[in-house]
Amino acid sequence: MAAGPLASYNGALTAVFLRRGCCTTGVVGILLLWLSVAASAADLVAESRRYQQAWSPDKVEFVLAIDPAVTHVKAAGARSADLDLATVAAAIRDSLSTYASAVGLPISFIHSGAPCVDGIVTARIVITAPASELGAMERKPGAGTSVMLPINVRSADDCGYRRDAYTKAVALDLSDGARYETGEVVLAQAIAAFSRDLVDEVLLVWHPDWRLPEPGSRAFAVFSVEPLNPSATMGFLKGLFSGSSRRGLNGLAVTRIETAEPEFRWSSLDDLFSAQRPSDSGQRISDVTYDFRLYTAREMGLGLIPGTLLLERTRLVHPALQLPAPLEACQTYFWTVRARFRLAGFPRATEWMSLHNASGGVVAPWRFRRGESVWNAWNPALTYAAFATPSATGRKDCGR
């Protein structure tokens, strides 16, 4: 039988590929990609040193410079009320105060141009939301509007504190995903998330002196505390062959556990310090506690991601937690932990425990927090450790 037209087409295509040396180009492309990943990995270690400093400013001041023209921009969602951005400044002020107070940081708001006082190290963070850069985009007619509000964060002119600057766009999604919320709720949620990230980024987050994991390393969170029980399961192939209801994203797989009442355990901050920091650093650490979060799972096509926050415990003294009641049977949950402590008297915290040692390279949570549009600016909140509880009716593998 003669070859079909598609076979001839494929043959011709292969010939063209070979003639033009596309195989060579492909190999070179892969090599370049690998080199860029390797180079980027080296950058990550260098960038991470920013969070290793033991700074302790005497004061923390915020300057809000919201362009008044922002207040004239209105965006209507499909089912939401008109969004009046006049509340942007108030929302930022409220959410910054709330979160800073929760993590034990005394902050104040000042007007720009106030002079520095000699001998007093002040973390002065200038937040600018220029109206000229605000972008409103209508995804499809009648479906509502997605607003991107770029906010500049700058601490370059601070009084002896760490100099830093970045711009992050706060996305106000008033279309499909936000159709059940009013514009004000969407704004408040987006600004609250932005403010938490901001305080974490410029004041709170601390990194140990970490190294890039070796190939095949079982490290999960790399520069944060590690999950001990339930253990974390990861690996590209494991994730790929687990089925969408048994895998997370980026090579994360769901660990099956034998009980609905697991005792959560994780490595302590001492472990992180003793393994990777000079021993004298530990002497300046005090008030070590842990924050714990448990989430339900939500399907998002490629795999599962954390859904609703089910339980939150703060100020846990020991790196362990026993839940007050058994969990649901045959359900998947995500959990995460971070250590909070004082370093040289100033409140600090580790990154939230997440799959940082992902398939394809190390995930850099600070790149996501700073809104950098690079491949590993992956949202670490999507890949917390995941586990699934057993059946209560005795069905093997929950009848899947």
Partner 1 sequence: MRCRRLHSWAVLLASAALLIAGCATAPPVSITRTAPTGIQDDSKVAVMLLFHERCAEHRERTGDNCAPSTVTGRMNDEVATCLRNALQGAPRRVDVIPGHQFHTQFLTRYQADYETLSAHSTLALLARHDLRGELLQARIGFVVLLHIETREHDRRTSFDVGEKGGWGVGRRSKRTTHIVATVWSTEQSVEAGVLTQRGEGLSGWVVPVLLVIPLPPIPYSSGTESKACRAMGNALAEFLYSDAKPLR
323 touches partner 1 by CB under 8 A: yes
> Would you say 213 or 307 has its CB closer to partner 1?
307
Give the contact letters, 272-311, x = binds to partner 1 (CB under 8 A), - = no.
Answer: ----------------------x-xxxx----x--xx-xx
The CA distance from 122 to 131, in Å, is 28
Give the contact letters, 78-107, x = binds to partner 1 (CB under 8 A), - = no.
Answer: ------------------------------
Pairing of strands 165-173, 227-229: unpaired
257 touches partner 1 by CB under 8 A: no
The CA distance from 35 to 45, in Å, is 16
Contact range with partner 1 by CB under 8 A, out of 3-11, 17-25, 91-99, 220-228: 3-11
Give the count of residues interacting with partner 1 (CB under 8 A): 34
Q: Which residues contact 18 (CB under 8 A, 6 or more apart)?
A: none
Tokens of 197: 């990230």
Residues in the chain: 400
> Would you say 178 or 304 has its CB closer to partner 1?
304
Please pick, from the candidates 95, 122, 233, 332, the single residue that binds partner 1 as defined by CB under 8 A.
Answer: 332
Give the contact letters, 370-399, x = binds to partner 1 (CB under 8 A), - = no.
Answer: ---------------------xxxxx--xx
The CA distance from 226 to 272, in Å, is 9
**3 state DSSP class of 91:** helix
Gyration radius of the chain over CA positions: 24
The CA distance from 202 to 194, in Å, is 12
259 touches partner 1 by CB under 8 A: no
> Would you say 218 or 395 has its CB closer to partner 1?
395
327 touches partner 1 by CB under 8 A: yes
Tokens 């506690």 identify what position? 289
Residue 280's CB is within 10 A of a number of other CB atoms, namely 7
- Residue 217 is classified by DSSP as -
The site for partner 1 (CB under 8 A) is made up of 4-7, 244-245, 260, 294, 296-299, 304, 307-308, 310-311, 323-332, 391-395, 398-399
